[in-house]
Amino acid sequence: MKDFETLEKKLGLEFKNKDLLTQAFTHRSYLNENPGLKLEHNERLEFLGDAVIELIVTDYLYKEYPEKAEGDLTNWRAALVNAKMMTSVSEKLGFNDFLLLSRGEAKEMGKARAYILANTFEALLGAMYLDSGFAVCEEFIKKYLLPNLSEIIEDGSYKDAKSKFQEEAQEKVSVTPNYKVIKESGPDHEKKFVVGVYLAEELVAEGQGLSKQEAEEAAAKLALEVKKWE
């Protein structure tokens, strides 16, 4: 088992329920090889943490930028809470050293590992919320995630394909795009998604990814090409 006490010291955390911290880093594949472990995998914590992160970021942006329109705030939030950003923060914080993965999964890097790291970040916030409450989560997000906002604004990276496609669609055809999962495949710990982006009933493009978010971004990018709105 990993030395999570080291991680707690590094992050300035002190879990009352140490099992929650361990669970946040426990991938489904690890339990397949260690069925005797009396812990769940981290997917339910990930579900909770996703909502906690989004609320903290939304609250911060709303209060700190009263002059900004909803569109800008939405785009900034999307850039802060997307998988790419959470993977980057997780790597900087050394989460790779604490992941509990199957032997096979531990060898996988690239997109699959990035996706696991992003999910673990969300799961950790879910665990923190259950263990210590909202204020501790807020302090953590302000310390490790929100400092990236200035760079996002400066380099314009918040304008991802989804944001651009939505802006163009609303301006040109007065329709807000919607996304639907067309297909899911693969085992639970390594699902692949095909997502379609629609303008009303029109299927404009499809995208694939290891997460719904990644597939939506791919679909939006292709949709911009299809509509020649680049």
Tell whether 147 and 190 lie within a shared domain.
no
Tell whether 53 and 150 lie within a shared domain.
yes
Tell whether 16 and 117 lie within a shared domain.
yes
From the candidates 50, 105, 214, 217, give the one annotated as an active-site residue. 50
User: What whole-number distance in Å separates Cα of residue 99 and Cα of residue 93?
Assistant: 12
pLDDT at 157 over 80: no
2-6, 21-25, 175-179, 202-206: which range is least confident on average?
A: 2-6
- Our answer to whether residue 122 is catalytic in this structure is yes
User: What whole-number distance in Å separates Cα of residue 121 and Cα of residue 118?
Assistant: 5
Tell whether 52 and 142 lie within a shared domain.
yes
Query: The dihedral of CA 177, 146, 119, 14: what is its sign?
Result: negative
Start-to-end CA span in the chain (Å): 49
List the CATH number of the domain containing 197: 3.30.160.20
1 pLDDT tier (thresholds 50, 70, 90): low
pLDDT at residue 110 in the model? 82
Percent pLDDT > 70 in the chain is 99
pLDDT at residue 112 in the model? 83
- Our answer to whether residue 160 is catalytic in this structure is no
Tell whether 28 and 127 lie within a shared domain.
yes
